[in-house]
Chains A and B, each alone.
Chain A
Amino acid sequence: MKAQKGQVRVITGNAAAAYGAMLCRPDVATSYPITPMSEVAEQLSTFRAEGLVDTEMVEVEGENSAMNVVAAATMAGGRAFTATSSWGLVFMYDAVQHAAGFRAPVVMAIANRETPGILAVSGGQQDIISTRDSGWIQIIVEDCQEIMDSIIMAFRLAEDYDIQLPVMVNYDGFYLSYLAMPVEIPEREDVDRFLAPLKDQPQRTILIPGEPLGCGTHGIEVGFVELRYKHCMAMERALQKVDEIDREFGEFFGRSYGGQLEEYRTEDADIVLVTSGGASGTARTVVDAKREQGIKVGLVKLRLFRPFPRQRLVGVLKGRKAIGVIDRSVGFGWNTGPMYMELRALTPEIGIVPMLSYIDGLANLDITVPHIERVVDEVYAASQGKPYQEVTWIPLEE
């Protein structure tokens, strides 16, 4: 069965996030304005005001409450959505960990932005890295259509009986949050149909008033360890599940994104670039151009950051002659990009080949075509046995 053709509208990434959430009919949604995601909150409130959804909208007094409200709503049995960015994510950090520990199937959209320290009202992926070890599933997307589609898929993933984990859908703040592009908006019945399998699953454990059952008992000793282990096992199951849901989404709606990661012209590639988010589009253009020059380069767009798609990455990176990783954030204490760090951890499986870390696109600086061309040239030279520099802060070398 195929979904009907949806209406195509030119909307921003933020609007796409709000549409995606609305189509999934959350019971409770919260929002607290922060640049550059405020429009998500406004859009959701407008949908509510126009009667397009019957979601309980809670206009909270801060992001910390935004997360606690949605976490509790899911533990009561509801579907819940929120959105934030950067400092907002940092302000809700205790609640973010709490939601993960509760296995609260919350879906959160994040318009990525630099995090505190240096006041930066600008894009960057440091907020993804700051929440890396919080126990959430983290998805990174590339364009407005993918934002909307990924939010729909995120509900299928989060609420799946075998998963029951909160999911973040990350998109580049400023770049995608404000970028308007044509987006096909599915019909609501079709989204209902796509989410319907959740109803056939066993009821997940929820709080029932009047029943001696609670959330948040202190875990000690082995009981605590067991819960941690089960959490990790759910993360492991999520790897496969992300691919399955993506495939099913593709069969039904006609759009799919590769699940854990997307490969572009990697089949015969000697060298491979690894990117995530909006920079991947630019990288594809460069790959095409460099291919014409005879350089066998391919691209991996990392869509799933947590859990980390180890097996699929090994599958695509093994046997290449050199690898270049572009990070839009920094790994303090390693002086490399954080995604580069993670890929380095795969060395025993993929073998010792030159791996180059590029830090670019911090604080709204563009990751341009010339930047990526440079990356390809250097990675190619490294693959030919030439000396190379491990870490390059592109904006500082221009």
Chain B
Amino acid sequence: MVEKLKKKPRVYDYFKEKEEQYAGGLAWCAGCPLELNLRFVPKVLGKDIVIVGCPCCSAPILYGQNVGTWHRLSYYSTLMTGVASSATGLARYYQKVGKDVTVVCYTGDGCAADVGFQPLSGAAERNEKIIYICYDNEGYMNTGVQRSSTTPLHAATTTTPVGKESRGKPTVPKNLPLIMAMHQTAYVATATLSHLEDLAKKLVKAAEKKNEGFVYLHVFCPCPVGWRIPSDSSIQVCRMAVRTNYFPLWEAEDGKFRFTHEVASPRPIEEMTKLIGKFAHLKEDQLEDLQQMVNDRYALIKTLCDANK
């Protein structure tokens, strides 16, 4: 049986949970914030969940790439094209036989925004009772840092390199959380690991709202290797993404938008980009572009949040 979830007063209360679902050390790259993110999911959602995922950075731990898995949760590993649809199949069967099971999809942005987008959008439109968590590391990091459709404007990746005739990715990223919110599902939210209280609240809300319909959480998740940042700086980068409004924290419950964290005086985007190697080549004009994009996107989400006031 799934225990009734309750919001705990302080974020570290979740870590008091004795039973740890993951092995003590996980084989991720040094400083990868996926570990914090993934350990946190069953801390809040409980262990009676089924995790559905695909080949991605979380695969070695969740689905046992080349060795056994590194946890004792129930999991279903499928292809990148089949995550949201497989979760649908599981959830529908459990509904049919009256089992209260939380089905949690956990994938990167490449699956969610690119190759697995169609089933994701389909499941959202059908308002399937599942939770989909996308950890956004802004590219195909598992396969060696190629660009995805959430790779930011001007960022360097192995397929949008900096060279004589190229200065990083020429197009703006897909605004996936907003696209998902436009499906008007039960609950959509953005979150990141510098704001764990916020993430905890959103996971608790997710568990509640998935009884009504589709839940989508978009978690900003830096990649120390792919972004070329020091392995002890992931959380700092997360925090700066929030402080620059590069990654605003908001939620949309039943289509109603709300900021969950507002930044009083946002920092210029350089304060984030200067921390990250993939932006090291940025010249003034590119920084201006990026700042403009951040401003425009923030204005858009603010309009949506204000409309709800």
Contacts and interface: CB of A to CB of B under 8 A. Distances in A.
Interface of A: 27-28, 54-56, 58-62, 64-73, 75-78, 80, 94-95, 98, 207-218, 220
Given A61-B121, A217-B64, A220-B66, A76 B85 contact: no
A27 B92 CA distance: 9
Contacts of A62: 118-119, 122
Interface residues of B, number: 46
Interface string B68-107: 1101111111110110111111101111110101100000
Given A64-B82, A71-B86, A72-B86, A56 B93 contact: yes
Contacts of B90: 72-73, 75-76, 207
B50 A207 contact: yes
A159 B241 CA distance: 51
A96 to B, nearest CB: 11
B294 interface: no
B235 to A, nearest CB: 30
Contacts, number: 152
A212 B119 contact: no
A65 B74 contact: no
B96 to A, nearest CB: 5
B95 A56 contact: yes
B212 interface: no
Contacts of B69: 212, 214, 217
B85 A69 contact: yes
Interface in B115-140: 118-119, 121-123, 125-126
Contacts of B49: 209-210
Given A58-B126, A72-B76, A75-B76, 17 more contacts: A54-B96, A64-B118, A66-B85, A70-B89, A76-B90, A94-B82, A95-B81, A95-B82, A209-B99, A210-B47, A211-B74, A214-B64, A214-B75, A214-B76, A216-B63, A217-B68, A218-B59
Interface string B50-68: 1010000001000111101
30 contacts: A28-B93, A54-B96, A59-B126, A60-B85, A60-B88, A64-B81, A64-B85, A65-B122, A66-B85, A67-B82, A68-B89, A69-B89, A72-B52, A72-B78, A72-B90, A72-B93, A73-B89, A75-B90, A76-B94, A95-B81, A207-B76, A209-B48, A209-B99, A214-B74, A215-B75, A215-B76, A216-B77, A218-B63, A218-B64, A220-B66
A213 B74 contact: yes
A75 B86 CA distance: 10
Interface string B188-218: 0000000000000000000000000000000
Contact of B119 (A28, A64, A73, A215): A64
Given A60-B122, A216-B78, A28 B85 contact: no
Interface of B: 47-50, 52, 59, 63-66, 68-69, 71-79, 81-82, 84-90, 92-97, 99, 101-102, 118-119, 121-123, 125-126
B87 A212 contact: no
A68 B101 CA distance: 19
B86 A61 contact: no
Nearest to A206: B93
A208 B74 contact: yes
Nearest to A57: B92
Nearest to B89: A72
Contacts of B119: 60-62, 64-65, 68
Contact of A28 (B79, B96, B118): B96
Given A212-B73, A214-B63, A214-B77, A68 B48 contact: no
A375 B63 CA distance: 54
A212 B78 contact: no
A126 B74 CA distance: 39
Nearest to B54: A216
Contacts of A214: 63-64, 69, 74-77
Contacts of B68: 217
Smallest CB-CB A-B distances: 8 pairs: A216-B77, A72-B89, A61-B122, A65-B85, A212-B72, A68-B82, A68-B85, A214-B75
Contacts of B79: 68, 94-95, 98
A218 B47 CA distance: 23
Contacts of B63: 214, 216-218
Contacts of B85: 60, 64-66, 68-69, 72, 95
Contacts of B81: 64, 68, 94-95
B64 A71 contact: no
Contact of B88 (A65, A77, A78): A65
B256 to A, nearest CB: 25
B97 to A, nearest CB: 7
A191 B200 CA distance: 50
Contacts of B118: 61-62, 64-65
B43 to A, nearest CB: 15
Contacts of A59: 126
